Structure 1
């Protein structure tokens, strides 16, 4: 009898740990993601606390991911923190990435804004981390939760469009960044809802973002974020 009870408790605990998030949790995650986006305008744009904001956002959301993982062992895979489909998702995104890079250099050549310096090297290494956080918030939590909310029952097209609009607005006032992130979010939303993998999306986001700054936008994020503290 004792063995049966123990077995039942283990099975019940396993079910609880794998239970999908409720609508309440999904709504709270959406609100938190949106507030993080609003925080960008306050701390990065107005106060110019770019690096502190990025560090706090990365640490804060990493802590939340760890908290949810301790309560639900399957949540990482549900969000897209997985390696089993890394190659297949990478194959889907590579053509888009290569075409995007070609367009970046074309636009940069026409504008005369190509400014590739050694600063891009540390950015190519570090920016995918911040890119992964952005994709987790916008594509994982926003698009993913909107797609799963039972009370809204939005179509995938509307979900992707709303996510792309939000991601674009967060990059105001740079028109180039707003255009680029809108297109990126449309493509990423489609890929994510088809086959979730935050690692691939974050990696490609980081590399494309770094190149975009030094070819199209004509900005040096490394100097703006890091060199001011050296």
Structure 2
């Protein structure tokens, strides 16, 4: 009897009770997202420190994810960092990705901006990492926190629209990028508020983003960001 009681007490003590997230924390996270967006204009657009900014942003937000995870082991799945529904979400988003790629090549062909080189290969591999961080910030923290605020209740349609506007504005001054990210965020916001998976969204974001640059925008981000250091 004593051994059984000791076992139950040990198991109970190992359970971490999850505290509800306060509106204060949610607002601070939203503020962090906005500050990161402002940092993009300063460090990427004005100072042209694209690679350092991306690396610092990835490390900083990864540390924050780890910090929150240590306090609440359920926070990763709450945000959408999970593999259980990976196939389901991937199949759900695949038709959108296929249609988007077809449109990219069509627009690129009409404009004469298709410029596919081997440079796209490393971007297809690495860009999903940055894409995952972007989706975590805009969809996970912005849309997710706006949805779960206790004192302010917003309609899902308004949350999706606000998230898409913010994500689009961050990509100013490229009109093509603003249009593309606005449409992407509308679809992503709709999906995320139904079923969450940051991994799928990040991967597809990275692949679509890389193709978008080499077809519609006609730029070579690999050369602009990496080759200048060699």
- TM-score after normalising by structure 2: 0.95
Counterpart position of 2:224: 224
Per-residue CA deviation, residues 150-200 of structure 1 (Å, 9 max, x unaligned), is 111001101110000000000000000000000000000011110000000
**Alignment: residue pair count:** 229
Structure 1: gaps (5+ residues) = none
Counterpart position of 2:49: 49
| Structure 1 runs (4+) greater than 2 angstroms displaced | 3-16
Counterpart position of 2:28: 28
Task: Please tell me whether residue 134 in structure 1 is matched to residue 113 in structure 2.
Answer: no
C-alpha distance in 2 between matches for 1:62 and 1:7: 35
Counterpart position of 1:99: 99
Task: Please tell me whether residue 191 in structure 1 is matched to residue 170 in structure 2.
Answer: no
Per-residue CA deviation, residues 65-111 of structure 1 (Å, 9 max, x unaligned), is 00000000000000000000000000110000000000000000000
Q: RMSD between aligned alpha carbons?
A: 1.8
Q: How far 1:22 sits from its partner (Å)?
A: 1.1
Counterpart position of 1:14: 15
Task: Please tell me whether residue 72 in structure 1 is matched to residue 72 in structure 2.
Answer: yes
Q: Contact 2:97 / 2:208 at 8 angstroms: preserved in 1? A: yes
Q: Contact 2:16 / 2:72 at 8 angstroms: preserved in 1? A: no
C-alpha distance in 2 between matches for 1:28 and 1:223: 36
Per-residue CA deviation, residues 39-68 of structure 1 (Å, 9 max, x unaligned), is 000000000000000000000000000000
Structure 2: gaps (5+ residues) = none
Counterpart position of 2:161: 161
Counterpart position of 1:118: 118
Q: Contact 2:104 / 2:211 at 8 angstroms: preserved in 1? A: yes
